[in-house]
Structure 1
Amino acid sequence: MNIAQIESNLQNLIKSFSKETFIYDLLLAYGLPKASITRLQKGNLNLSKSEGEISWKKKLRFQEEYSADLHLTISELAQSIKHEERFVIVTDYELFLAIDSKTGEKLDIELAELPKHFDFFLPWAGMEKAQHRNENPADVKAAERMAKLFDEIKKDNPVKTEEDSHALNVFLTRLLFCFFAEDTHIFQDGQFTNAISSHTAVDGHDLRSYLESLFEVLNTASKGRKDLPAYLNAFPYVNGGLFKDSFQVPEFSRKSRQLIIDAGEMNWKDINPDIFGSMFQGVIDPEKRGSLGAHYTSVPNIMKVIEPLFLDELKEELEKAKHNPKKLNELLYRLSKIKIFDPACGSGNFLIIAYKELRRLEIAIIHHLQDLQKAAAGFNSKSEQLSFIPKAQLSLAASFQVELFSRIQLSQFFGVEIDDFAHEIAQLSLWLAEHQMNVEFYREFGKTSPTLPLKEAGKIVCGNACRLKWEKVCPKKEGDEIYILGNPPYLGKKEQLVNHKLDMQLVFNSQDGFKNLDYISIWFFLAAKYCSNTPKCKAAFVSTNSICQGEQVGNFWILIFSQNIEIIFAHTSFMWKNSAKSNAGVAVVIVGISAKNGSIKKIYSSGKIIQTQEISPYLTSGTTTIVTKRSRPLSQIPEMTNGSMANDDGNFFIDHEEYIQLPSHLKVYFRQILGARELFYSFKRYALWLKDEDIEKALEIDLIKSIVNKVAKYRAGSTREATRKLANTSHLFGEIRHKSGQALIIPGLSAEKRDYIPIDFLTNGEIVSNLAQVIFDFDPWLFSLLSSRLNIVWVRATSGYFKKDLRYSPVLSYNNFPVPYISDQRKQEITQCVFRILEERERHSEKTLAQLYDPDKMPAGLREAHRQNDLAIERCYRSRPFESDEERLEYLFKLYEKMIAEEKVKDSLFEKEKKGRKVKK
């Protein structure tokens, strides 16, 4: 049951209710099961023995009270809860009192006002209030009301063309403005809704012509109006372009007219334009109706972008200037010139929050100027705190005229949005935000600029940001202070549609490796080009963390750094969640860039701020060194290779049951094979594994001959020439990398949530498939190294992810893993750690590796064995333990850079020596 339905149910309940059934009807209004309420009414679920009292476990405690003090009664009931009742309610059917026993919130109202407080009992409907603190119930309710209206209008006005769709979008935007205006003193209170109710027919046949006339009036200044009826002329001139263009207004029915009136009776002053705009996008997409509110970007998340991008520095400037009137006025002027540009602005969330924060900063500056003036005049209440200010500064303050108006204009805000409706809503939301800040300004100073007529809205362009010239949307000239920001679409390579791939082609042209990049890379690349020759331009975007992991790092950041760009701040990976119910979130990073300037950089990670001279593309403190593929290990460790690949269309493989049923003489031709799945879940699978000397005898067996023929047919029909050639050896795996003897198996993919990569020894000649990596000819201590926290931290950064699984790349991660010199004594020590890990696994032999390494269920003994192993491995790197994964990664990259530099020196010396030998000859 949604919020609009609940409110409607409460309105119907209050219109006519029976005291005998009131409490049961109240519970039904929130969608509680009718069968349960019937049982409660019959007394089966009522745990109270007192007359006139109901107690339903975990739901409510209710009592009618006519004689005593209701407040005393509810206090006593709340203090004597026995059955975890969530709500305590007392009423005499005139007053209505309630207490939420979980949060301590109280409700003390007249019963008739209950529908206005529908959100108090939302937990009955499965919606905890905490989920709705940022996701304001008023926003949800408004969006649901508008969804109903939208559906009804579309039913009577089918949308057949893009022009029809745009006209409807503009109409809904204008409607929203009128609702907001009549509840926030832009219009007279209730003016718009009352006019429709009073001056149009109940069946709605004349509402279209009435609204067409009204919209024309709203676009006409007072001096241009002639012969208008008083009820139309009473509306103010709006301007700003909102009602400028003529678009067809839809036809209305009795029902759609009434829905407009119902929507108008809501209290629209409680609407948050920064949130509601995103919710309202769900109105026009029925598939998103079930999650209204799930798609907006919450204010705390937006602040993670704008604070390090510009707001923190502006606040620091205010702190420095707060006793200097000249610098305060300079800061006010600076605010009036800043440009904010969101090239994927949606319904304007980032622009609105940025606008509001700049306006609030402006208010703080004006307060400081007023304080200085009052101190100079000798009657400031804070004058003792300001007594240390030099007299010259106070004299200067006295000479300044503090002008009480906002210098920050909507024309400083720019955006691009591909969706027509979101683009319209973004413009409207900026106007609404301006009005809200004007009201806030008035509360502070008693003066403000009038909201009407509307000023020019921010320049929000409807178009594809990947194909527009950004400088035409947000023009820049020398000295401009510009901040580009937003949350563009991420879209990995496999999620991109044809139009996205074309955008990538157009932007990156012939750049190497661009086809493997995420779609969001376009926004970073275009922002880098925009900022590259503009010293006061900075950009920051939210992105999935894949742009800072694995192979994408090399392809992507080389393009960015080539524009004379550096990373100026970063939030390392965190879950991007909003307050909406069932919002699982996605792992993201926030990366800020600008032209190189030598400033101190900041990394925000795990609640800490790390200051550094340079931020690497892996978001660590360090240089811009990029880990690239290499064919042999950088360190003194044995070679890791991919497992053997069958290339057989599945024909070589049989499961355990099929293997058991094979005659003994056939089993010799099959070997157990393991990939990541078999390793994690202890599945047994087998594959035909023939040697050249076996082929003649084996092909006399019908089963084997059939398998080999099927593989030959599959390979011969391939579109790849290399695969077709393999048809000549269809009795063999396509790629064979197996060696006899002991092996170490490392999964090609491992679940993201695991704290360690589960690896294992193979001692019975098992074959490792291409879904895992394998090491032959190794010493046992290597198991310890690859099972360590250091290793998984390195792999996460350098290998990246496939979907939600951690990928293990030999050529990117293993071959580049920096391993210092480890003495024989240390190797013996860490080998003991290997045995402890294996012993702990053996204690739980009934469990699979997947179960053992589930971080929520990992046995304590195994976790401790790994902790000790981590400490032992880390002592090989340095004497003191690492405090965090960020510290581990930073250390590993510094060691990697050192080892790469040493390798280059060695290679250089080798080349010189080689040339010297040639000269001697």
Structure 2
Amino acid sequence: MNPVEIEEAVSQLAETPFDPEVFPFAFLEAFGSKATTIKRIKSGSSNPSDLPGGVLQRNNIHLKVCPEGEVNATLTALRESPATTRYKAKFILATDGKSFEAENLADGETVACDYRNFSDHFGFFLALAGITTVRQIRENAFDIKATGRLNRLYLELQKQNPDWDQAERQEQFNHFMARLIFCFFAEDTNIFHSEGLFTQTIAQMSASDASNTHEVLSEVFRAMNTPLKDRKAAGICSWANVFPDVNGGLFSGNVAVPRFNKIARSYLLDMGNLDWKKINPDIFGSMIQAVADEEERSALGMHYTSVPNILKVLNPLFLDNLRSQLEQAGDNRRKLLNLRQRIARILVFDPACGSGNFLVIAYKEMRKIEAEINRRRGELERRSEIPLTNFRGIEIRHFAAEVARLALIIAKFQCEVLYRGPQLALFEFLPLKNDNWITCGNALRWDWLSLFPPTGRGVKMQREDLDLSGETREQAEIDFENEGGETYICGNPPYLGSKWQSQEQKDDLKQIFESRTKHWKSLDYVSGWFMKAADYGTQTHSAAAFVSTNSICQGQQVPILWPLIFETGHQIAFAHTSFKWANLASHNAGVTVSIIGIASEPPTMRRLFSITDEETLVERSVGYINAYLVPASNCMVEQIRNPLSEVSPMLFGNMPRDGGNFILNGDERGNILKTYSALERFIRPYLGAEEMIQGKRRWCIWIENSDSAIASEHPYLKEVQEKVRQFRLASKAGSTRDFASRPYRFVQIAGTARDHSLVVAKVSSEKRDYIPVDLLNGNAIASDLLFALYDAPLWNMALIASRLHLVWIATVCGKLKTDFRYSNTLGWNTFPVPTLTEQNKIDMTRCAEEILLAREHYFPATIADMYDPERMDREFPRVREAHDRNDEIIERIYIGRRFKNDTERLEKLFELYTKMTRQQTPLTKSTQRKTKS
């Protein structure tokens, strides 16, 4: 269930007459518990509550309906219940049908209200449905409630007016919904000078069967688009003449309205009865952006970016500088005036603005600073000099663009009320201006300079655009000059790795990058925004910062994208290293992102934010930030043939290209050996990444060159070889066909071990704290899904198993989807290791042995079991302790102590890498040596 569905279910429960027998189970059902789960709890088989009449859902909630007047005492009993602790309840809840009290046991946050109002606090309980949230959502349930009502109306009108859901009328439909939202807000905030005017007019003037509802709405909209002096001539009905002149493009143009049925009319009036004074534009805008998108509607109410996350972009980009200037100005009237004039000229531009939450937060924060300036200058009632037209956006979805503009209008009114008082706010609010500062279109296809030229530039676009009324006009009409102020580009553009891009999106990147690099197809979609921002910055006084997948600062994308950015004269001015962008997300889902700010004139000292191993945010002031978001010199890690350091060579595993004929499962091996026991020496353990990590067992037929003649005479081996030969002859690859003449052997044999081999998975889960590495005996064959160090000293395993090595691999090798993608030439050969003493090697050998012994202690648990981050500490503590000891020993070799976090680890690694590569030559593609034998 999504938050909107939960809110509706909880509201229905609150409106239903209270039934003490039904309530506990209906409450669980409202938050997504399945019918089978509830049935088991009802029967008692899954209800371990130790209180009479109590209902306990393991790992979730302990609740109890009690006699009237005993709610507080019952909540205490639930809190002190041994079962509450034993079964890890997150919440306790008590109610008598009159009062309602609950507590979040994790943080002590409580709710106490009348029973009939408990649905207003549904956000408090969203964790019961596996949904994480932030305090703003928990404390302001209105935005989700309004989203749900809006969605119900949208779907009903869509059903009633199928022609309005067609592409040619979709924009008109979206514009109609934006008008409704404004009217609900305006009637509850006295903008219409009479509370409830809009809803009451619809209720009184439209028939109960809804036959004329569309006509009533159309007349109201026509009135709000007509100046008072022109209304008599326009023939505005007297009952509609009470509405003020709003205009501002919101009610201009076509006033057609979709037809209503009784259900849609009921939904409309229900929406009007909500308290729209509670609307929070930065929350509400994000919430409703999925209403008009059928593909996204299943995630309705999930689109919310928290204010703290937005400020991670805006604060270091420019807001912190404004606040610093405010502090330095003190009460100096001249300095305050200069700062106010500077703020009034700042342009904030989000070229993937969605519903405008970055722009809304930027506007609110700048109004807060301006209000403080006015307070210090004794000008509290002074009109704001910050125009909404300085907060510009491009958004590809029409409804989101509509909402972005509306959200800014609402934010402006709320700021006026807050800083200048309701009377002045109402007096100056209407009519709205006709300016259109949110553009609907593809930001990667449009020339930003033509849309938003700096002062004095004559660049104009001649293409046509659609304004918010659905009418066409020249693009030049939406240009606003910025009077020489700074421009700050910000936002959270779509990420999309290369494999997930549509053809249209690939074409977007092609027209940006094709003339610059032949490797552009490997870039994430967000790269387009960085490149466009850098190009824009060559012609303007601007800086940019985007939320981005961390993959553009890892692996193969770094040497493709960042030299192009740096060539424009831009450098990285600040960055947040990888963190989870988890907002209102189901099951704690959240993509790992970075925030990267670029500028052509970066500050002398750059700001680098990172998360410590203890989950604490740390800010550092550094001289330089390179493309890997490390405070080190700007270098690009490229493949090299041989290791930089004194480590053993890492080779590919072995590739059969046999059509599966050499590979055997356990049953097949057993059956063969029953018939041909002498073949045991030709059948060897065969491991790929899955076998190594998950403990699965496979074997392979392995025939040395010296045994080829014997094998060609054996009936079974002869048959296998013939199948391999036929498979290779049928291959489209010439290199495979060439090996049809040697069907007894693997195509690619990188090496085998005399005594042992250390093996590393080519691809492994990013969730693990360590790279999977294992020790195999000399008889085992590593497949091409593994890398192998044949007969290498065991201390090499300690390095591979370290946290240091994991962060290096994650950074320079990058990811396959979200998994670590290991590379020997890029990850292992480039891994910088200090000169090791013999004692260092002895210590590291002992650490590797301790890791292997710890694993052996938990046999038959697999690497997948033992390195599961949710199980490792709880079920396999010896493995964790062995790795902690290993990290302790290795990190002391590097800096004499443990590193504080991954950023510090990378900083040291890049420092060492830079020193060690001064005399090294990168391995180019043409010089790579194939590993066939």
Scaled by the length of structure 1, what TM-score is found?
0.86
Residues 545 and 234 of structure 1: is their aligned pair in 2 closer, same or farther, counting only changes over 3 Å?
A: same
Mapping for residues 709-724 of structure 1, pairs under 5 Å: 709-724=722-737
Mapping for residues 737-816 of structure 1, pairs under 5 Å: 737-741=750-754, 742-816=756-830
**Cα distance in 1, alignment partners of residues 118 and 773 from structure 2:** 60
Q: Which residue of 2 aligns with 1:280?
A: 288
Checking the alignment, whether the CA contact within 8 Å between 1:646 and 1:734 is kept in structure 2 is: yes
Q: 1:681 aligns with which of 691, 694, 718?
A: 694
Q: CA deviation at 1:38?
A: 13
Identity, % of aligned positions:
38
Deviations 1:63-94 (A, max 9, x none): 23xxxxx6xx6555555667569334457xxx
Q: Which residue of 2 aligns with 1:575?
A: 580
Q: Which residue of 2 aligns with 1:390?
A: none
Checking the alignment, whether the CA contact within 8 Å between 2:753 and 2:778 is kept in structure 1 is: no
**Cα distance in 2, alignment partners of residues 464 and 828 from structure 1:** 60
Checking the alignment, whether the CA contact within 8 Å between 1:10 and 1:118 is kept in structure 2 is: no
Q: Which residue of 2 aligns with 1:460?
A: 438
Q: Which residue of 1 aligns with 2:738?
A: 725
**Cα distance in 2, alignment partners of residues 513 and 446 from structure 1:** 57
Mapping for residues 99-138 of structure 1, pairs under 5 Å: 99-102=101-104, 105=110, 107=112, 114=117, 117=120, 119=122, 133-134=136-137, 136-138=140-142
Checking the alignment, whether the CA contact within 8 Å between 2:130 and 2:587 is kept in structure 1 is: no
Mapping for residues 412-423 of structure 1, pairs under 5 Å: 412-423=390-401
Q: Which residue of 1 aligns with 2:329?
A: 321
SS at match of 2:240: helix
Deviations 1:793-844 (A, max 9, x none): 2112111111222121111111111122212233233223333333333323
**Cα distance in 2, alignment partners of residues 278 and 9 from structure 1:** 26
Checking the alignment, whether the CA contact within 8 Å between 1:132 and 1:579 is kept in structure 2 is: no
Deviations 1:836-867 (A, max 9, x none): 33333332332222223334433333333333
Q: CA deviation at 1:870?
A: 2.4
Q: CA deviation at 1:588?
A: 0.8
Code of the aligned partner of 1:549: Q
Q: Which residue of 2 aligns with 1:560?
A: 565
Q: CA deviation at 1:282?
A: 2.4
1:586 aligns to 2:603 (yes or no)? no
Residues 116 and 830 of structure 1: is their aligned pair in 2 closer, same or farther, counting only changes over 3 Å?
A: closer
1:524 aligns to 2:537 (yes or no)? no
Scaled by the length of structure 2, what TM-score is found?
0.85
Q: Which residue of 1 aligns with 2:447?
A: 469
SS at match of 1:761: strand
Residues 326 and 122 of structure 1: is their aligned pair in 2 closer, same or farther, counting only changes over 3 Å?
A: same
1:147 aligns to 2:151 (yes or no)? yes
Checking the alignment, whether the CA contact within 8 Å between 1:215 and 1:243 is kept in structure 2 is: yes
**Cα distance in 2, alignment partners of residues 170 and 600 from structure 1:** 46
Q: For structure 1, which runs of at least 5 residues remain unmatched after alignment?
A: 65-69, 371-400, 906-921
Q: CA deviation at 1:360?
A: 1.2
Q: CA deviation at 1:432?
A: 1.4
Mapping for residues 173-192 of structure 1, pairs under 5 Å: 173-187=178-192, 188-192=194-198
**Cα distance in 1, alignment partners of residues 526 and 123 from structure 2:** 41
Residues 702 and 442 of structure 1: is their aligned pair in 2 closer, same or farther, counting only changes over 3 Å?
A: farther
1:225 aligns to 2:203 (yes or no)? no
Checking the alignment, whether the CA contact within 8 Å between 1:294 and 1:583 is kept in structure 2 is: no
**Cα distance in 2, alignment partners of residues 249 and 501 from structure 1:** 38
**Cα distance in 2, alignment partners of residues 775 and 544 from structure 1:** 33
1:485 aligns to 2:471 (yes or no)? no
1:405 aligns to 2:419 (yes or no)? no
Deviations 1:519-543 (A, max 9, x none): 1111111111111343x31111111
Larger radius of gyration: 1
Residues 182 and 768 of structure 1: is their aligned pair in 2 closer, same or farther, counting only changes over 3 Å?
A: same
Mapping for residues 615-626 of structure 1, pairs under 5 Å: 615-626=625-636
**Cα distance in 2, alignment partners of residues 436 and 289 from structure 1:** 29
**Cα distance in 1, alignment partners of residues 607 and 505 from structure 2:** 33
Checking the alignment, whether the CA contact within 8 Å between 1:414 and 1:473 is kept in structure 2 is: no
**Cα distance in 2, alignment partners of residues 865 and 126 from structure 1:** 37
**Cα distance in 1, alignment partners of residues 385 and 201 from structure 2:** 35
Structure 1, 645-654 or 75-84: larger mean CA deviation: 75-84
Checking the alignment, whether the CA contact within 8 Å between 1:10 and 1:29 is kept in structure 2 is: no
Checking the alignment, whether the CA contact within 8 Å between 1:430 and 1:458 is kept in structure 2 is: no
Q: CA deviation at 1:900?
A: 1.4
Residues 496 and 631 of structure 1: is their aligned pair in 2 closer, same or farther, counting only changes over 3 Å?
A: same
Code of the aligned partner of 2:760: I
**Cα distance in 2, alignment partners of residues 904 and 445 from structure 1:** 72
Q: CA deviation at 1:410?
A: 0.9
Q: Which residue of 1 aligns with 2:372?
A: 364
Q: Which residue of 1 aligns with 2:867?
A: 853
Q: 2:216 aligns with which of 210, 214, 223?
A: 210
Q: Which residue of 2 aligns with 1:193?
A: 199
Q: Which residue of 2 aligns with 1:627?
A: 637
Residues 522 and 832 of structure 1: is their aligned pair in 2 closer, same or farther, counting only changes over 3 Å?
A: same
1:433 aligns to 2:436 (yes or no)? no
Q: Which residue of 2 aligns with 1:888?
A: 905
Residues 104 and 613 of structure 1: is their aligned pair in 2 closer, same or farther, counting only changes over 3 Å?
A: closer
Q: CA deviation at 1:56?
A: 5.6
Q: Which residue of 1 aligns with 2:894?
A: 877
**Cα distance in 1, alignment partners of residues 638 and 739 from structure 2:** 31
**Cα distance in 2, alignment partners of residues 745 and 468 from structure 1:** 50
**Cα distance in 2, alignment partners of residues 784 and 878 from structure 1:** 17
Q: Which residue of 1 aligns with 2:467?
A: none
Residues 892 and 563 of structure 1: is their aligned pair in 2 closer, same or farther, counting only changes over 3 Å?
A: same
Q: Which residue of 1 aligns with 2:356?
A: 348
SS at match of 2:239: helix
Q: CA RMSD in A?
A: 3.1
Code of the aligned partner of 1:435: F
Residues 128 and 631 of structure 1: is their aligned pair in 2 closer, same or farther, counting only changes over 3 Å?
A: closer
Q: CA deviation at 1:261?
A: 1.0
**Cα distance in 1, alignment partners of residues 748 and 225 from structure 2:** 74
SS at match of 1:610: strand
**Cα distance in 1, alignment partners of residues 135 and 40 from structure 2:** 26
Mapping for residues 221-260 of structure 1, pairs under 5 Å: 221-226=227-232, 227-246=235-254, 248-260=256-268
Q: Which residue of 1 aligns with 2:465?
A: none
Checking the alignment, whether the CA contact within 8 Å between 2:574 and 2:606 is kept in structure 1 is: yes
Q: CA deviation at 1:566?
A: 0.4
Q: Which residue of 1 aligns with 2:99?
A: 97
Aligned length: 849
